[in-house]
Structure 1
Amino acid sequence: MVVPAKHVLFLLIFSALSITVTWANTEELGGEFSLTDHNNNPFELRQLQGKLVLLFFGYTYCPDICPTELANVAAVLNELDDQGDRVQGLFVSLDPGRDSPEVMRDYVHYFNKGLVGLTGSEDEVAQVARQYRVNYKRHEREDGGYSIDHSANLYLIDGKGKLTAVVPYGMPPKHILDLVRGLLAESG
């Protein structure tokens, strides 16, 4: 992979911090999408032009991964202070059958009032998941319920709607915050 020169400094800094970040090739991953937000309004990624987006996929019934990552995203958003208006957190449900807009609103607001929950039809969600190469699979339980196994990367999208970085699950909020601040500084 060829890394743009403007990212070399960030790679050196983050290597020193022992952070594993994949600098995304936007030709292969990501892109514009349309879903429904937690207020039941149409949502398009382009609405966030000019903002750095932290995008995470999961579902509200997730027992551990989703609440942990959303708590990390909320911690990052809470630390940004005067730069907070330049960043938007998004949570896309991989379980649109249970995660209605109302359920999503209550769930994301538990973590941070500024987070936006997104849902849609099964096909719409599957299309966005394919764009970002999110793997997920429903598993039926004996009690009639189900769980969803899913990949858990955090996607950072720049103010032009281009995927900039993929942060693997488990990175501490401090490392994500440093990455976000670096990207904000780069964009001016």
Structure 2
Amino acid sequence: MRNLLKFGILFCAAIASSATFGLGGDFTLTADDGSDYSLSDSRGKVVILSFGFTFCPDICPTALATISLALRGLGDDASHVDAFFISLDPDRDTPDHLREYTRYFHRDLRGLTGTAEDLKTVADRYRVRYSFVGKGTDKHYTMDHSANLYVIDAQGKLFGILPHGLPPDAVTNSLKSALASRRAGGKTVH
């Protein structure tokens, strides 16, 4: 377990420079309250992003439960983190449905959606891969999608990519590292 935590922190630190990978960047989507949300709206806070869809049977609920536990692990510092679930299924995941779904996991977790084109642009920017399975032939279609979590620093730059399946403590530690970077004026603290 301790080695897995170290791996998560090292993995996050190893990719701390988004310029190296050309990942991330600002975007604007529709929040679960119907308002527009831009990543730049969270400037000064650390952000954690998860991509998926509300009808996902396993990966998304696991990821959101992990985010919820990670936020709880931060205690009062959680007020300096914005957590978002970006739905890649705008046909079924309306803002109202997203609000109900995300609040089940944590009161401060917010849902984001947009047009199919806007979502594809954001997904491409973060190299999120997804494809619909059975859409058009079955109203109960599903989706194959990548399952990483993305930590964005207080300056809006990609701080780290966390692989699916990390324990909540590893996610908490990654968020703590991003918060420490925030306190150090954007310099990565190891």
Identify the TM-score tier after normalising by the shorter chain. Answer: 0.7 to 0.9
| Counterpart residue type for residue 141 of structure 2 | Y
Question: Do residues 167 (structure 1) and 162 (structure 2) align?
Answer: yes
Aligned-partner residue type, residue 108 of structure 1: T
Q: Which residue of 2 aligns with 1:23?
A: 15
The 3 A distance-change label for structure 1 pair 16 and 119 is closer
Unaligned runs of 5+ in 2: 184-190
Residue 150 (structure 1) aligns with:
145
Q: Any idea what the Cα deviations from partners look like across 1:10-35, whole Å, max 9, x if unmatched? A: xxx98872334451442310000000
What is the match of residue 61 of structure 1?
55
1:48 aligned onto 2:71: no
SS in 1 for 2:127: coil
92, 103, 106: which one aligns with 1:109: 103
What is the Cα-based RMSD across aligned positions, in Å?
A: 1.8
Find the aligned partners of 2:117 and 2:6 in 1 and give their Cα distance: 39
Counterpart Cα distance in 2 of 1:132 and 1:162: 11
TM-score in terms of structure 2 length: 0.87
* Residue 15 to residue 77, structure 1, CA distance change in 2 (3 Å): closer
CA deviation map 1:104-123 (0-9, x unaligned): 00000000010110000101
Query: Per-residue deviation at 1:41?
Result: 0.5
Q: Report the counterpart of residue 92 of structure 1 in structure 2.
A: 86
- The amino acid of 2:79's aligned partner reads D
Greater alpha carbon shift after TM alignment, 178-187 vs 113-122: 178-187
Which residue does 1:10 correspond to in 2?
Answer: none
TM-score, normalised on structure 1?
Answer: 0.88
2: CA distance between counterparts of 1:75 and 1:148? 25
Residue 166 of structure 1 aligns to a residue whose secondary structure is strand
State the secondary structure of the residue aligned to 2:7.
Answer: coil
Unaligned runs of 5+ in 1: 1-12
Mark the CA change 1:87 to 1:148 in structure 2 (over 3 Å): closer, same or farther: same
Question: Contact 2:4/2:166 (CA < 8 Å) preserved in 1?
Answer: no
In 2, distance between residues paired with 1:138 and 1:115? 25
Matched residue count: 176
User: Are 1:118 and 2:107 matched, yes or no?
Assistant: no
Matched, 1:181 2:155: no
Following superposition, the deviation at residue 84 of structure 1 comes to: 1.2
CA distance in 1, matches of 2:84, 2:124: 17
